[in-house]
Amino acid sequence: LESSLLTQPWASVCFGESAFLVKASFRDTGYILLISDLSSVWYETADAEAVRQRSKELNKRLTVHVSSFLHRLRNLVCPLLAGQLDTATSFSCHHTARDLRLHLKSDLSGLPLYWDFHCCPAPVDMVSRHLVRPLIRMSLALQYQVQELTNLLIQKDAEIEDYRESGATLSRDRLRTEPFQKEMFQQNFVAEVRSSAS
């Protein structure tokens, strides 16, 4: 289950006034859910037997095979992660530093359906695999891309200056640009990052 979770993207989801990053993977044999408020990371993994037991506790009037129940859970959670809100389904979240409980209320075959995701703090190696390492890789890729674009802008400025020295002029003055200032760009970028983080 966790290996399949690695291929799932993070989704930004709001529960009440709180924003979270969430990813999940559902199979006929169970599910795994990872959720973070960027201060803490919680997770739950449940196999078919755990789902069957909790389903019986929460849904005494509902009789359904565990694989069908898991399929229904997936059909309720995945649209939420895709930004598609279902007015017939509600989610609420209660969390502390030690645990997080995500409550779901919907229906199945005309009967009310309830589910609680019982999440505990994710271990450090899981946080590293799913959050830290992907973020560092993305940061490095973006740094490389910025460096490539910076070099291209410097080359373009040199090309434009060569045209000007050869006597070329712009047909439309509004297209004129100032030469790219690498140091000024980096200073402004760092200042913007600091202000958005504060």
CATH number at residue 64: 2.170.210.10
Q: Are residues 153 and 113 in the same domain?
A: no
- Structural domain count of the chain: 2
Q: In this structure, are strands 11-15 and 111-121 parallel, antiparallel, or unpaired?
A: unpaired
* Digit-coded pLDDT (tens) for 61-85: 888 899 999 999 999 999 999 988 7
pLDDT tens for 84-101 read: 877 889 999 998 878 999
Alpha helices per DSSP H over the chain: 2-5, 48-58, 66-81, 124-127, 133-165, 182-197
**Of residues 8, 12, 28, 10, the one with CA closest to residue 20:** 12
Strand 41-47, strand 18-27: pairing? unpaired
Whether residue 97 is found in the same domain as residue 14: yes
Q: Are residues 11 and 93 in the same domain?
A: yes
- CATH at 132: 1.10.287.450
Is the predicted pLDDT of residue 192 greater than 80, yes or no?
Answer: yes
Are residue 73 and residue 147 in the same domain, yes or no?
A: no
157 shares a domain with 84? no
Domain that includes residue 99, residue range: 1-122
Q: Are residues 18 and 108 in the same domain?
A: yes
